[in-house]
Structure 1
Amino acid sequence: MDMTLSASLRRRAARILTPVLSTALILTACAGPMRLSAEPAPVAAQVPSQGARGPIVSAANPLAAEAGMAVLRRGGSAVDAAVAIQAVLGLVEPQSSGLGGGAFLMHYDAASGAVTAFDGRETAPSAATPELFFEDGEPLGFREAVLSGRSTGAPGAVAMLAMAHERHGRLAWSGLFGDAARLAEDGFIVSPRLAGMIASRAPQASTDWARAYFSGADGERLEAGDTLRNPAYAATVRALAEDGPDALYRGDIAREIIAAVQAGERPGALSLEDLAAYRPVAREAVCREWRLYVLCVPPPPSSGLAVLQLLAMAEHVPAVDGGPAEADAWTAFAQLQRLMYADRDRYVGDADFVAVPVAGLLDPAYVAGRAALAPTLGGAAEPGLPPGFQPRAADATAEPAGTSHFVVVDAQGNAVSMTTTVESIFGSGRMAAGFFLNNQLTDFSFSPVDAAGVPAANAVAPGKRPRSSMSPVIILDREGRFVGAVGSPGGTSILAYVAKALIGTLAWDLSMQDAIDLPNLVARGDGFGADTEMFTPELQAELAAAGIDLRPNASENSGLHGVLWRDGRWDAGADPRREGVVLTR
């Protein structure tokens, strides 16, 4: 792509934009199960959408995107389409998300202007202890923890989608699973990305469950172009269609889940009672004004507030406005990431269990002070002391790959931005009823306290939701009207990927696709992971001179999907690093 700065970008960068962090738009997370029966509070002004702008879908697999678009063509809502998309993604992209995983869904209601964060994050079993991943007094190795039954929490994606559908669905729930059932029964063509995961060295790809599922009649592993059938999955989605989410959380499918969790070495403690007790939560979004827009993200245990913190710090570092051709802009972006990750890792956890200083981390004076440190960093940043903080132990969480993101806007202007995951590649590698189970509990800190007994914010506790990097974003204009959405998979790198896309589109004035296409640069701790081959040799040399020594990105790559309404049309994009597409009517 052309990395030179456009005239419009220069004009935009030259604008004087007042940095604002309007407290009138601050809506922090609501705690406790009572939110389940409460109506979600609106964000910003109650201004209806300025006319229908859909339908449009951007998702990581063409079959899933088409399933969502088919629902929209039938008059379905954005949430209706999200149900269909997730049902197909769990079949055709099982390395990333599925019925056995969790998700965060941001919803914009065009009639009222309300933004709601639906939390479908998994929960730890009631029998979980802070030493869940200890053995003989020492933390388990990460591989052993992932493959164990202990890694699986009560899945939340299905229950969360059912809650969102009850509030915002237009079509019958029972009619949203037809494409998933047909593809599972008749078979679908294994894509190159799925084939690569099947053949990968990921230990979950070699469990007994995975070997049996991904082997053909000749006993050989399936390859790209082969047909994969999954009659068990077809039966599961038909049961969901007929009986609703109870089909997964109670009855035969629930018993299959528990049997898989409790099988073999290191069985898990997840019980039928834990599944039956799972509840999603509708929470108030965390929103902040940034430049000409209002950005809304889920509250903790999502890490979306960290993206908002980075963007707020960027307002105090003019070099960020330089654009994608400038080494100074990338250097500033990297240093701000270091500060952002240090704070996120220390303070963010499940706000129903620990006090997360959301307002403090976004406090204007604190943000300005943190931003001032960016030029001085010669290595990893230390966490700051935001207003309202409580002492927390250093984090010991390892967050691996295995996530997907999609965006939907329906014909009435309602929108969904949803990030969904089974955590690692194929989750725990264990299967039940045709789908993989999550290993989400390995998103907790393996060490619950430090040597002085100070607890980690993200320590394990019964019923607690592990911290997540998933950060689906809804973008509003200053009148509270929906203008866009974006999100990405990528493990801990999600925060860097989403921030890159937002800076690219909203600060550098790039198209959504060009912003997604930009090289990724992730700076957490001492190192700098990047799409090194996408930076020119000249730019790499300038970055190295500034102390930004790029190395190939070792984390899960991005899978950004986003839409933005500008100039009277949709500006949409799908990450070329995956198999995603954008569909319109």
Structure 2
Amino acid sequence: MRRMTNRRSARLLAVLTATAAIAAAGAAAAPALTGSGDGPSGQKQSKKPVAVGYGGAVSSVDADASAAGIKVLKQGGNAVDAAVATAAALGVTEPYSAGLGGGGYFVSYDAASGKIRTIDGRETAPKSADEKLFQEDGKALPFDEVVTSGLSVGTPGTPATWEKALGEWGTKPLGKVLAPAEKLAREGFTVDETFRKQTAENEERFRKFPDTVDLFMPGGKLPEKGSTLRNPDLARTYDTIAHKGTGPLYDGAIADDIVKTVRKPPVDPDSKKVRTGDLTREDLKAYEAGRQAPSHTRYRGLDVFGMAPSSSGGTTVGEALNILERGDLGKLSKKKLLHRYIEASRVAFADRGRWVGDPAAEDVPTKELLSQRFADSRACLIKDDKVLKSPVAPGDPRHPSDCGSGDKAAPTPYEGKSTTHLTTADKWGNIVSYTLTIEQTGGSGITVPGRGFLLNNELTDFSFEPADPDVHDPNLPGPGKRPRSSMSPTIVLDDGKPAFALGSPGGATIITTVLQSMINHVDRGMPLPDAINAPRASQRNAEKTEIEPRLWNSDLRPRLEDLGHEFTKIDELGAATGVQPLPDGRWLAAAEKERRGGGSAMVVRPSKK
């Protein structure tokens, strides 16, 4: 076991002991993979939420996607190569959550240097966009009109992210890394209940677009569970990118098809027309995935790294952790701990809404938002015997004052709860935490004809209008601007070495999912798989807190209601995945047991041989 530092608490030692016990059980229960769904390796894949072993690990929501990453690791690739391979396969099997038409955030740990590196692959607005992009006659457009339209489509960032990550940190060429996903698209994957349900939920808007129906509803009908769904168009697109790079997508024939589709969506003649967008070839050609420093905060002696703006994930998770660090959560009752977590989330979201936007266009006080001084000035708002009234007004991180609030309070706007997350690790100790999306489940609903992928509706993450006309909103649309995101890919280091990595989909609930999972693991001493699978609550500066059925039906709910909390029951929050190095040299991969139909954790070798 690696030498422990004085900063590590007895609680963290207990976590490692408990995790090692799970690891031992996992190693004993790691037979050859069998089950439904032919994966890209040619063997049948099944979903297992926990895997332990050697040589590297992959955790995602889908077994075929995790198998694609494992295949690349077995071929000598590193964690970056495996992350791109897994993401490309998710573009096949999870096309309503991610794909070439979307964007995301890539966070990686380099074992050789000990550094955390990030890529901002967020979609961008057209150069013609201004603050009134989603307004008409001085009023905000109806959300439902914008969601399924060309107007909501931003320039995709996912292909550029893959190319940049592989070019700077990978060991395999793009063609090799895309090969498992290309095969999967060509040969098909097995439709599960989640995929069928998501198709059914989007059926009405999908039917507006013949190309979308042809691709995801063969014969005009919902795909049956257990059937095989093929995507030869996407296989050809992957083949093009494998041989020519991303050039055709940003400055070639695929770019032309994207622009044509956005500017004149191919709508069924019998359907009501949808709004057009103003994306141009110049917008695609100008796109660049950005390199930037990660967000960083200290928590219980650990270094927590995440995604800095344009994502609000790193700053909001970090601020909430800083607020919570004032007390020893591990000694609190479940009621008091959940109360403080809810209130810290409420306050952090208030500050997120006022201050976070695209730093290329806005003056975002990232450093100040993550300062302990600011967190302490906000923590004094939280009382153990009563609940803050929402929406809470933001504080001023540049000029913090105890319990001080400034501008008018504003509720958190809606964000689509789709998206997907994956985590990878390799035999050298490198780690990737990567969240990618096309926004709402099914994105814009618009398939690029002949190309096999859906376009995002990511621009709906912008504010349609200011919450208060007298207060500047940093998340209004603008030319080439990135909309604010909640994606929170996170890597945690202990004394410079990886402790664990995790992330989740879920729109704005991503932040609370990552935050609560971290508290479960670090403060409550829960092994990582248990921390991920524990019941969740999500408070985002709203009157009511969303909670899952296991909390709704527990005795905690009435006890918290007695304090003044109000709750809304929601089926599930997030779908997290994580990886963790174990003291004996093995990797632990963890995913959901039930959410989104359960996730898929895999390792290269269950044993040393």
Q: What is the TM-score with the length of structure 2 in the denominator?
A: 0.84
Corresponding residue of 1:186? 187
| 2:395 maps to which of 368, 381, 384 | 384
In structure 2, do the counterparts of structure 1 residues 247 and 96 end up closer, same or farther at CA, with 3 Å as the change threshold?
same
| 1:447 maps to which of 465, 481, 484 | 465
Deviations 1:95-134 (A, max 9, x none): 1111110010001111111111110001110111211111
Corresponding residue of 1:529? 546
- Cα distance between partner residues in 2 of 1:165 and 1:78: 10
- Cα distance between partner residues in 2 of 1:10 and 1:203: 53
Structure 1 residue 143 displacement after superposition: 1.1
Q: Unpaired runs of 5+ in structure 2?
A: 1-7, 15-52, 266-273, 401-405, 605-609
1:189 touches 1:227 (CA, 8 Å); kept in 2?
A: yes
Aligned amino acid, residue 574 of structure 2: S
2:387 touches 2:563 (CA, 8 Å); kept in 1?
A: no
Structure 1 residue 411 displacement after superposition: 1.4
Structure 1 residue 346 displacement after superposition: 1.2
- Cα distance between partner residues in 1 of 2:380 and 2:13: 21
Corresponding residue of 2:80? 79
Corresponding residue of 1:370? 378
- Cα distance between partner residues in 1 of 2:128 and 2:467: 19
Aligned amino acid, residue 262 of structure 1: R
Deviations 1:127-159 (A, max 9, x none): 112111112321111111111111011000110
Structure 2 residue 481 is matched with structure 1 residue 464: yes
Deviations 1:385-444 (A, max 9, x none): 211699799577431121000000011111110000000011100111100000010100
Q: Unpaired runs of 5+ in structure 1?
A: 1-8, 16-51
Q: Output aligned runs, 1:547-558, within 5 Å.
A: 547-553=564-570, 557-558=573-574
Q: Output aligned runs, 1:206-225, within 5 Å.
A: 206-208=207-209, 209-217=211-219, 219-225=220-226
- Cα distance between partner residues in 1 of 2:166 and 2:176: 12
In structure 2, do the counterparts of structure 1 residues 10 and 171 end up closer, same or farther at CA, with 3 Å as the change threshold?
closer
Corresponding residue of 1:132? 133
Aligned amino acid, residue 370 of structure 2: L
SS in 1 for 2:492: strand
Aligned amino acid, residue 315 of structure 2: L
- Cα distance between partner residues in 1 of 2:399 and 2:248: 43
Corresponding residue of 2:323? 313
2:124 touches 2:483 (CA, 8 Å); kept in 1?
A: yes
2:58 touches 2:589 (CA, 8 Å); kept in 1?
A: no
Structure 1 residue 563 displacement after superposition: 1.6
Structure 2 residue 356 is matched with structure 1 residue 357: no
| 1:296 maps to which of 285, 300, 305 | 305
Corresponding residue of 2:601? 582
Structure 1 residue 551 displacement after superposition: 1.9
- Cα distance between partner residues in 2 of 1:247 and 1:210: 22
SS in 2 for 1:584: strand
Judge which range, 511-520 or 533-542, deviates more.
Answer: 533-542
SS in 1 for 2:282: helix
- Cα distance between partner residues in 2 of 1:392 and 1:354: 19
Structure 2 residue 493 is matched with structure 1 residue 493: no
Structure 1 residue 549 displacement after superposition: 3.1
In structure 2, do the counterparts of structure 1 residues 455 and 449 end up closer, same or farther at CA, with 3 Å as the change threshold?
farther
2:394 touches 2:407 (CA, 8 Å); kept in 1?
A: no
1:397 touches 1:446 (CA, 8 Å); kept in 2?
A: no
SS in 2 for 1:274: helix
- Cα distance between partner residues in 2 of 1:444 and 1:53: 43
Aligned amino acid, residue 350 of structure 2: A
- Cα distance between partner residues in 2 of 1:582 and 1:283: 29
- Cα distance between partner residues in 1 of 2:554 and 2:490: 33
- Cα distance between partner residues in 1 of 2:590 and 2:524: 16
Aligned amino acid, residue 581 of structure 1: S
Corresponding residue of 2:270? none
SS in 2 for 1:199: helix
2:202 touches 2:442 (CA, 8 Å); kept in 1?
A: no
- Cα-Cα RMSD: 2.3
- Cα distance between partner residues in 2 of 1:89 and 1:397: 27
- Cα distance between partner residues in 2 of 1:449 and 1:511: 41
- Cα distance between partner residues in 2 of 1:10 and 1:464: 43
Corresponding residue of 1:337? 345
Structure 2 residue 355 is matched with structure 1 residue 347: yes
Structure 2 residue 492 is matched with structure 1 residue 475: yes
Deviations 1:245-283 (A, max 9, x none): 112112121111111111243210101111111001111
1:418 touches 1:487 (CA, 8 Å); kept in 2?
A: yes
Structure 2 residue 64 is matched with structure 1 residue 56: no
SS in 1 for 2:565: coil
1:395 touches 1:458 (CA, 8 Å); kept in 2?
A: no
- Cα distance between partner residues in 1 of 2:260 and 2:238: 19
Aligned amino acid, residue 225 of structure 1: G
In structure 2, do the counterparts of structure 1 residues 54 and 352 end up closer, same or farther at CA, with 3 Å as the change threshold?
farther
> How many equivalent residue pairs?
535
In structure 2, do the counterparts of structure 1 residues 246 and 201 end up closer, same or farther at CA, with 3 Å as the change threshold?
closer
Aligned amino acid, residue 70 of structure 1: K
1:13 touches 1:322 (CA, 8 Å); kept in 2?
A: no
In structure 2, do the counterparts of structure 1 residues 180 and 450 end up closer, same or farther at CA, with 3 Å as the change threshold?
same
Deviations 1:447-504 (A, max 9, x none): 047333x4311011101111000010011112x2223210001101111000011111
2:126 touches 2:480 (CA, 8 Å); kept in 1?
A: yes
SS in 1 for 2:291: strand
In structure 2, do the counterparts of structure 1 residues 268 and 299 end up closer, same or farther at CA, with 3 Å as the change threshold?
same
Corresponding residue of 2:334? 326
Aligned amino acid, residue 109 of structure 1: D
Aligned amino acid, residue 411 of structure 1: K
In structure 2, do the counterparts of structure 1 residues 476 and 53 end up closer, same or farther at CA, with 3 Å as the change threshold?
farther
SS in 2 for 1:436: coil
- Cα distance between partner residues in 2 of 1:155 and 1:386: 32
2:80 touches 2:432 (CA, 8 Å); kept in 1?
A: yes
In structure 2, do the counterparts of structure 1 residues 169 and 13 end up closer, same or farther at CA, with 3 Å as the change threshold?
closer
Structure 2 residue 113 is matched with structure 1 residue 112: yes
SS in 1 for 2:112: coil
SS in 1 for 2:77: coil
Corresponding residue of 1:398? 414
